Structure 1
Amino acid sequence: MPPKKKVEEKKLLLGRPGNNLKTGIVGLANVGKSTFFQAITRCPLGNPANYPFATIDPEEARVIVPSPRFDNLVEAYKPKSEVPAHITIYDIAGLTKGASAGEGLGNAFLSHIRAVDAIYQVCRVFDDPEIIHIEGDVNPVRDLEIISNELRLKDIEFATKHLEAAERLTKRGGQSLEMKKLKEEVELVKRIIALLESGQRVANHTWTVKEIEVINTMFLLTAKPSIYLINLSERDYLRKKNKYLLAIKEWVDKYSPGDVIIPISVCLEERLSHMTEEEIKEEEKAINGASALPKIITTMRKKLDLISFFTSGADEVREWTIREGTKAPDAAGVIHNDLKNTFILADVMKYDDLMELKSEKEVQSAGKLMKKGKEYVVEDGDIIYFRAAAGKN
């Protein structure tokens, strides 16, 4: 018999982001964070002024997730209400060297980072004498190191306090299961501190389910999944060249392995944000380039193992966000807790089947409308009608 094919274990993810994904925009002052925020959200929030700490309190806005499937379902059903999926974006004040020790706005915006599920880290690689760089000149690797160091130093502080508290509890002694668990936690936190001191991020390493349960209680800054947005001039973005790109890739590969780098021109995005959809298409054709915003949004969802299911009908078409691997009752719970608690079954259609057969009736006639129970794992693109007890559906 041929040898069994080895099944690659999926890396467990930190955190538990749900239907309302919160993402923070992080970086040094004057790297383009607030202008990027205004472009991606198409709103006048934020404060893209040319001086440090222009943004003090984090601004917040919802961003619609680009979804051709949602658009096609809306076209098919022509519902009274359309509710696309979204992510919530926070424009967080610029970090500075010494933030972990309270410099600048210090602890205030580090706490803002602690509150989000994931991070867009903006790194400036364009030269512009009109826009002050807080460190005096453009040096993206230095900037990446400053952000990394501040987040790691704060995490070392968090982890050290956690370790001290856990060690105090172990001094009680005994051989109970609780004591064994505490001792394992102490060893885990020591490993985390050593990892941070070596220059690494918690998010870029593999952890067991038990370890993740502990790490999630610590709310570490470096446990946040990150995407690096490299802010280029419009010229460099369109020609896909910049002298700093290789050095940035080498730094990310070493200190943040596995994380995604996406080139962007905030200047271009800001210009496109004032245009209609038709004007954007014409401009993109004229410059032979495209906005990076759709990729930035969808890549973050993919990085967090987030998928979509749909509820569709004449009254409403809505796209819901869940973690990959979610079972039907938990997916129903995203809509309403009552649906989870009184779940009976789920009527499931595949998006591709509906698009091919054109109607729910034809899907049912073809025997492709499936009835699934509590153990069904929802798949990306499923169109679901949940049935629950007591007439709740």
Structure 2
Amino acid sequence: MLRQTFGTSLRPSFSSRLFHQSSACLKKPAAKKPATKKKGKGAEKKLLLGRPSNNLKGGIVGLANVGKSSLFQAISKSHLGNPANYPFATIDPEEARVIVPSERFDKLCDIYKPGNAVPATLTLFDIAGLVKGASKGEGLGNAFLANIRAVDGLFQVVRAFDDPEITHIEGSIDPTRDLQIVTHELLEKDYEFVLRALEAAERAVKAAGSQKNSMALTDRKFEQSLCEKLLEHIGEGKKVYHGDWTNDEIRFINTLTLLTAKPTAYIANVSFADYEAFVKAGNNLDNIKYLSSIRNWIDENSPGDLLVPVCVEYEVRLFESSEIGEELDTASTVQSAIGPAISSLRKALNLISFFTGSPREVREWTIRQGSTAPEAAGVIHGDLEKTFIVAQVTKFDDVISHKGDETSLKSGGKIANKGKDYEMEDADCVIFKAANGKK
């Protein structure tokens, strides 16, 4: 099947490109943008796909009726969402700010016994379920896909348990089929987004044709060539997130807010028996029904992405029992998977933490990996970044071993002064010094 596009050109649709690729087709290399002069020493820092923000949002996605809303309630410890045993129980996305479980934060609170304790949080959305054909308007269609476009990372939930009492929209339990359906719909929509961007670039190149040596023409040709490269990448069934892109390519890709450019952590919704067996086997996926096939699918189609088995039914029971002050008999031996699940999405989003601590307040702050000391200071207050002088950095383990005693840390040489080029490391404990006495 061919799709009519800009002008008189004909280009293959996503489906035809994915399933009928010609072995004779040669990959067209993307045009290289002219090198820009870099300020300071060293090479340019590798950019990340997605919004350049520390306040990133996650969305829970998957086929309809696989346990997304129940998981959302368990994670958010609320009764938001609409879990029900039928598809499309959720229509409009629900939002909740969830506390990030953190043993490091708890240890600092034990040491300082602060008057105020502020943990890190992550904003999550419960997004309506997807069905096959969503990219063409089936089910909740484009509304669902627009909601995914608005978040920065995904929890993709897949059903991995048997229960004839709970309906499955496809009529049978097949996790790898379900994973493929969701991925195909996201790729299909991205193909359409990139095709529109390509048409716009072609029109711009044509309009600027008389300006032979203009920077605008060079930029539009770069975008045109990159769109062709993206179409080929997506047409091969590959997520944009797993492509090898240059910084200039990433800058343009980020303007497109593509669905498959978002990092994903996979949640396998398993039975309690399988989850208990997984825990007792030392978190070993082998011999647990469906988990090995899911892991193999991820390794092939989304290499490097994390898989977290969760028994959503059990998590809901843990939440409900805590509300009434009771403890399940299994709580001491089969612990919640919510902490690892949240941590997996933070890791996928390239988020790390730093701490500020004193008897007055202990707070865990969230930044993106690769953030400099001034950028981290700016998360606390914008003026701290503008007037940054120095960061006094102590490693978390040193704070713990010295029980937070500043005099002991100083005499032991554990507090290091770091300048504006210092790249923050996960779990740094920091005091920022700035002009005008701000700190």
Q: How does 1:100-111 map to 2 (within 5 A)?
A: 100-111=135-146
The 5-angstrom pairing of residues 12-91 of structure 1 reads 13-16=48-51, 18-91=53-126
Counterpart in 2 of 1:112? Answer: 147
Whole-Å Cα distance in 2 between the matches of residues 279 and 72 of structure 1? 25
Whether 2:279 is the aligned partner of 1:244: answer no
How far off is 1:281 after superposition? 8.4
Aligned to 1:162: 197
1:123 aligned counterpart, secondary structure: strand
Distance in 2 (alpha carbons) for counterparts of 1:121 and 1:223: 14
Give distance in 1, aligned partners of 2:184 and 2:304: 19
For structure 1, the 5+ residue unaligned runs are: 1-8
- Do structure 1's residue 196 and structure 2's residue 237 form an aligned pair? no
Question: Does residue 406 of structure 2 align to residue 374 of structure 1?
Answer: no
Counterpart among 303, 310, 331 of residue 284 in structure 1: 331
Give the distance between the partners of 1:317 and 1:264, measured in 2 at CA.
30
Contact 1:20 1:86 in 2 (8 A): no
1:192-216: CA deviations, max 9, x gaps?
1111111111111221111110111
- Quote the residue 2:307 is aligned against: 261
Tell me if the contact between 1:204 and 1:258 (Cα under 8 Å) persists in the aligned partners.
Answer: no
Quote the Cα distance in structure 1 between the aligned partners of 2:398 and 2:344. Answer: 26
Using the TM superposition, give the Cα deviation of residue 382 of structure 1 relative to its aligned residue in structure 2, in angstroms.
1.4
Which stretch has the larger CA shift, 297-306 or 276-285? 276-285
* Equivalent position SS for 1:345: strand
Task: State the Cα distance separating 1:305 from its structure 2 match.
Answer: 2.4
1:151 maps to which residue?
186
CA distance in 2, matches of 1:356, 1:49: 49
Aligned partners of 2:295 and 2:414: how far apart in 1?
46
Aligned partners of 2:158 and 2:179 also within 8 Å? yes
Alpha-carbon contact 1:12-1:207 (below 8 Å) kept: no
Quote the residue 1:221 is aligned against: 259
Alpha-carbon separation, structure 1, partners of 2:205 and 2:193: 19
Residues 340-364 of structure 1: CA deviation (Å, up to 9, x unaligned): 1111212222222221122112112
Instruction: Determine helix, strand or coil for the equivalent of 2:50.
Output: coil
Identity %: 56
The match for 2:283 is none
- How far apart, CA to CA, are the structure 2 residues paired with 1:365 and 1:16? 42
Segments of 4+ moved more than 6 angstroms:
none
Partner of 1:341: 386
Q: CA deviation at 1:327?
A: 1.0
Q: CA deviation at 1:17?
A: 5.6
In the alignment, the residues of structure 2 paired with residue 48 and residue 122 of structure 1 have an alpha-carbon distance, to the nearest angstrom, of: 14
Contact 2:46–2:247 (CA under 8 A) maintained in structure 1: no
In 2, the alpha carbon distance for the partners of 1:376 and 1:123 equals: 40
What is the number of residues matched between the two proteins? 383
CA positional deviation for 1:248: 2.2
Amino acid at match of 1:304: L
The 8 Å contact of residues 321 and 328 in structure 2, kept in 1 or not, is answered as: no
Unpaired segments ≥5 residues, structure 2 = 1-43, 279-286
Could you tell me how far apart the structure 1 residues matched to 2:379 and 2:251 are?
22
1:233 pairs, out of 267, 271, 277, with 271
Question: What one-letter code is carried by the residue in structure 2 that aligns with 1:339?
Answer: L
